[in-house]
């Protein structure tokens, strides 16, 4: 295991408003751009944490070269993206958490979100560049059956992770599962702000990797966490009226 960053080297123990977390594995080609992007928007109330899975390329060298911009980093083997994200929660000091990939970039709207972060039980989300266009969407119960929240847009209050963690059985869509649980949970609410906070490249991990377990559980999860009307509208869209009607009769 290796670790470092301002918190260790300079005894920086500030209490941040937002913890930006990046989990990495062999990300040497893209990580410098993310670090530069965060550096352009970093303030005294924003901390930057990297959890690396034991990279074998130049990722650790790049991290060490940029320790002045990184509050804490650790490198050790993990069991995938969501395991690393769960582990990162042991190191955050922010009241809200934002997860970015090594190939993502912060946008100017990030700073505009910070004054809005007030309610400790609210999940705030902004806009992102999604397949080349700005995704500006106020989510509702039914739309959540069409598209998950982009994790690059979300600011989770720490209360979410005091109650939940990412379920590792969902290798690709553990964040979708987490968002469904939070959507159903009366303890939390989602609030949208019309600010562009990040961009990410086309064709990420979820594009080329299948989550067989989530696909098997998708219908069950929508039924469990969403309103009945939204669930049956989803079935009508995916199975057709007859398929939806059969499920309705069978109460499935």
**pLDDT tens profile 71-87:** 999 999 999 999 999 99
Q: Are 17 and 48 within 8 A, CB to CB?
A: no
Q: Cβ neighbours of residue 250 under 8 Å, at least 6 residues apart?
A: none
Residue 234: is its pLDDT beyond 70?
A: yes
Structure-token match 């109460």, residue found: 251
pLDDT at 208: 59
The 10s digit of each residue's pLDDT in 88-132 is 999 999 999 999 999 999 999 999 999 999 999 999 999 999 878
Entry pTM: 0.92
Domain borders along the chain are 2-209
- State yes or no: pLDDT of 5 exceeds 60: yes
Tell me which architecture the domain covering 2-209 has in CATH: Alpha-Beta Complex (3.90)
3-state secondary structure of 179: helix
Task: Say if CB 99 and CB 150 are below 8 A apart.
Answer: no
Ordered DSSP codes for 68-85: GG-SEEEE---SSHHHHH
């Amino acid at each position: 295991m290796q670790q470092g960053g301002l918190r260790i080297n300079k005894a920086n123990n500030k209490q941040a408003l937002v913890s930006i977390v990046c989990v990495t594995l062999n990300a040497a080609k893209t990580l410098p751009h993310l670090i530069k992007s965060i550096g352009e928007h970093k303030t005294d109330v924003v901390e930057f944490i990297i959890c690396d899975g034991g990279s074998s390329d130049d990722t650790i060298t790049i991290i060490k070269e940029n320790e002045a911009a990184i509050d804490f980093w650790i490198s050790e083997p993990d069991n995938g993206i969501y395991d690393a994200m769960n582990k990162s929660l042991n190191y955050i000091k922010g009241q809200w958490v934002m997860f970015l990939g090594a190939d993502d970039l912060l946008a100017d709207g990030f700073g505009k979100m910070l004054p809005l972060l007030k309610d400790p039980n609210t999940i705030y989300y902004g806009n992102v560049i999604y397949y080349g266009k700005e995704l500006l969407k106020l989510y509702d119960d039914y739309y959540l059956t069409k598209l998950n929240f982009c994790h690059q847009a979300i600011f989770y209050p720490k209360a979410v992770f005091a109650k939940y963690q990412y379920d590792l059985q969902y290798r690709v869509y553990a964040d979708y599962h987490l968002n469904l649980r939070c959507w159903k949970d009366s303890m939390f609410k989602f609030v949208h702000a019309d600010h562009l906070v990040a961009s990410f490249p086309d064709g990420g991990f979820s594009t080329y990797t299948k989550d067989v377990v989530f696909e098997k559980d998708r219908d069950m999860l929508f039924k469990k966490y969403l309103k009945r009307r939204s669930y049956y509208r989803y079935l009508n869209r995916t199975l057709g009226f007859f398929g939806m009607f059969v499920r309705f009769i069978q109460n499935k």
